[in-house]
């Protein structure tokens, strides 16, 4: 479907276009929420090799195609980056939302990270905000 878009995205990042990469990217595009490593292993109709998933995710993070989301329970989640994320320099300027009920994690791209006033000696660079509660579907 968005085959062209996927190919483009990979080529733009100097990555060769391979099956697993296309399929994993497709998973992210079809899922509004964030995915855990295990989601990817499971959700793929055909299963990928664990190692391939590890390596693919790592490559995507390095290229700034996806980013990790820190969660309170320290599960490792990944989500697609917006276009502004350049290679290796992901600045997370949006809010993440984890639903306590359905457990889906959303990137609320339209909600901009608020200002935080720190003690003067601290120099902030990146601000991560993760909100949990009930999402639009479970509310």
Q: Which of 5, 17, 76, 102 binds its own copies (CB under 8 A)?
A: 76
Token representation of residue 62? 């390095």
Is 73 an interacting residue with respect to its own copies (CB under 8 A)? yes
For residue 2, give every residue at least 6 positions away whose Cβ sits within 8 Å of its Cβ, in sequence order, or none.
Answer: 26, 29
Decide if 34 contacts 79 (C-beta within 8 A): yes
Is 88 an interacting residue with respect to its own copies (CB under 8 A)? no
* Shortest Cβ 119–DNA spacing (Å): 31
Reduced to 3 states (helix: H, G, I; strand: E, B; else coil), residue 10 is helix
At residue 81, what are phi and psi to the nearest 5 degrees?
-90, 155
Q: Which of 24, 97, 105, 109 binds its own copies (CB under 8 A)?
A: 97
Least Cα distance to 29 among 88, 81, 69 occurs for 81
Residue 56 or 105: which CB sits closer to DNA?
Answer: 56
Residue 58 or 133: which CB sits closer to DNA?
Answer: 58
Residue 29 or 129: which CB sits closer to its own copies?
Answer: 129
| Dihedral-angle region of residue 34 (phi above 0 means left; psi in -120 to 50 means alpha; beta otherwise) | beta
Residues forming contacts to DNA in the complex (CB under 7 A) are 11, 15-21, 37-38, 48-52, 54-56, 58-59, 76
Write out the residues near its own copies by the rule CB under 8 A: 68, 70-74, 76, 92, 95, 97, 100, 108, 110-111, 114-119, 121-136, 139
């Amino acid at each position: 479907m968005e085959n062209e878009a996927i190919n483009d995205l990979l080529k733009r990042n100097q990555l060769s276009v391979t099956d697993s990469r296309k399929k994993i990217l497709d998973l992210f595009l079809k899922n509004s929420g964030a995915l855990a490593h295990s989601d990817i292993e499971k959700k793929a109709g055909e299963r990928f090799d664990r190692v391939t998933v590890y390596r693919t995710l790592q490559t995507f993070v390095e290229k700034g195609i996806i980013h990790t989301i820190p969660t309170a329970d320290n599960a490792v989640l990944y989500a697609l980056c917006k276009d502004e994320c350049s290679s290796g320099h992901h600045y997370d300027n949006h809010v993440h939302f984890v639903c306590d009920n359905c457990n889906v994690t959303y990137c609320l791209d339209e909600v901009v990270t608020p200002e935080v006033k720190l003690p003067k000696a601290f120099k902030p660079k990146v601000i991560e905000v993760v909100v949990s509660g009930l999402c639009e579907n479970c509310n």
